[in-house]
Amino acid sequence: MQNECGDCVCVLRSSVNMKDCQLEMLGGNHTVVKFKKGDSIIKQGVFSTNVIFLRKGMAKVHISGPSREQIVKLVKAPTYLGLPTTFGDKINQYSVTSVIDSEVCFIDLEVFKRLLGENRDFGSYILMELCKSELEAYRRCASRTQKQMRGNLADVLLEFSEKLFEADQFTLPLSQSDIGNWVDAGRESINRVLSEFIQDGIIQMQGRQVRIVDKKMLKMISQNG
């Protein structure tokens, strides 16, 4: 258990000067849970008293909009999940669902808050993280609404390739209709553009296995909207 927790915060420990006693406090107040692909980790509308850390895996953050479910972003381990929804409101304001098998660490909110107070480095680390994700949210939103489908889909493919999987070949963890909910497009349109990309020799696909062939072209498409 302690051991697990050492791993769990090791990412932070490198940048944050965390005392052993604080690590122990954390170790004594957490639970590790496994989630299978498709399982709900955080559910919008439900009361929450835990800070959640994604140890392994990948998850989608989504919020219910006026007419459909909007995917806000995809995140991969290691990262905190739903800090805004935990601190900003007692009731979860969005959902998080694992898109591949994942492992999650629940930390008691009070313990986490105490830690924030005691360890200034840790506090400013969390503050920074929040700021960055807010900035990212602004950028994404502007980009999504101003580009058209081809550009947005190119962005998604590039994000999978460069940020999430860090490979030219990967398995899409989302269905086409989910991708549609991410980039504000209909499922059919996603399918059509994907076909175009294959036709044009930009990507290859078999099932959900994607291979990016012409990354330069993808970046071109991403840029000119």
CB of 185 to DNA, least distance (A): 4
Residues 39-98 binding a second copy (CB under 8 A) are 63-68, 70, 72, 83-89, 93-94
CB of 140 to a second copy, least distance (A): 8
63 interface partner picked from DNA, a second copy, none, CB below 5 to 8 A per type: a second copy
Alpha-carbon radius of gyration of the chain? 19
User: What is the Cβ-side half-sphere exposure of residue 157, based on CA atoms within 13 angstroms?
Assistant: 33
DSSP one-letter code for 225: -
Q: Give the residue with the Cβ less far from DNA, 100 or 109.
A: 100
Name residues whose C-beta falls within 8 Å of residue 4's C-beta, 6 or more positions apart in sequence.
Answer: 32, 105
Name residues whose C-beta falls within 8 Å of residue 37's C-beta, 6 or more positions apart in sequence.
Answer: 98, 99, 100, 101, 173
Cα(158)–Cα(204) distance, integer angstroms: 14
CB of 177 to DNA, least distance (A): 6
Name residues whose C-beta falls within 8 Å of residue 139's C-beta, 6 or more positions apart in sequence.
Answer: none
CB of 105 to DNA, least distance (A): 25
What residue ranges bind DNA (CB under 7 A)?
148-150, 172, 175-177, 184-189, 191-192, 194-195, 205, 207-208
Q: Give the residue with the Cβ less far from DNA, 139 or 208.
A: 208
Give the residues lining the site for a second copy (CB under 8 A): 63-68, 70, 72, 83-89, 93-94, 113, 116-117, 120, 123-124, 126-128, 130-135, 137-147, 151, 184, 223, 225
